[in-house]
């Protein structure tokens, strides 16, 4: 478990677009793409990087089951950049078709995390 607590709002990276969840939100189950989750409690913002997963909200409880997650402060940015570079190299070896399309989509998601994190210094 990476985080548990009471918050006012949680912003999530959904596969169909980013969205926020507040108390009283309609029940929802959503697929997550790699990106940033922001938990907001008053003026405090806790940020986490998730690499895909599922979010389920019901009865004022939000549960996120992520393939992988870490706090922004603990993210190994150099490791992420190396993984992106490795993914780009492996793309050259894939033949056109579904496998290549999937690999390109995954690479784009990982790059979006990198570029979202880079310009942000603090909340």
Tens digits of residue pLDDT in 33-51: 888 899 999 999 999 988 8
Answer yes or no: do 68 and 81 share one domain. Answer: no
Q: Is 11 left (phi over 0), alpha (psi -120 to 50) or beta?
A: beta
Answer yes or no: do 65 and 80 share one domain. Answer: no
Residue 115 is predicted with a pLDDT of 44
Answer yes or no: do 96 and 55 share one domain. Answer: no
Report the SS3 class of residue 57.
strand
Answer yes or no: do 43 and 96 share one domain. Answer: no
**Rounded to a whole number, what is the distance in angstroms from the first to the last CA of the chain?**
23
Residue 29 is predicted with a pLDDT of 92
Answer yes or no: do 92 and 62 share one domain. Answer: no
Answer yes or no: do 90 and 50 share one domain. Answer: no
Tens digits of residue pLDDT in 63-115: 998 878 888 888 888 887 887 788 778 777 766 666 666 666 666 666 655 44
Q: Domain of 52?
A: 9-72
Count of alpha carbons within 13 angstroms of residue 111, beta-carbon side: 10
Answer yes or no: do 66 and 80 share one domain. Answer: no
Distance CA 89, CA 19 (A): 32
Residue 108 is predicted with a pLDDT of 67
Residue 122 is predicted with a pLDDT of 35
Residue 46 is predicted with a pLDDT of 92
Domain presence at residue 86: yes
Answer yes or no: do 64 and 91 share one domain. Answer: no
How would residue 118 be classed by pLDDT, with cut points 50, 70 and 90? very low
DSSP state of 90: H
Q: Are 100 and 91 in contact (CB under 8 A)?
A: yes
Distance CA 65, CA 82 (A): 25
pTM: 0.68
Burial of 39 (0-12, 13-18, 19+ CB in 10 A): buried
């Amino acid at each position: 478990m990476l985080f548990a607590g009471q918050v006012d709002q949680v912003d999530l990276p959904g596969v169909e677009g980013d969205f926020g969840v507040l108390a009283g939100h309609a029940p929802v189950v959503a697929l997550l793409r790699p990106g940033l989750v922001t938990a907001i409690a008053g003026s405090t913002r806790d940020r986490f990087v998730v690499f895909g997963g599922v979010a389920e909200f019901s009865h004022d409880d939000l549960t996120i089951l992520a393939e992988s997650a870490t706090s922004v402060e603990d993210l190994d940015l150099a490791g992420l950049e190396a993984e992106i570079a490795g993914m780009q190299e492996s793309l050259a070896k894939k033949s056109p078709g579904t496998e290549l399309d999937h690999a390109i989509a995954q690479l784009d998601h990982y790059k979006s995390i990198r570029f979202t994190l880079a310009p942000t210094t603090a909340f």
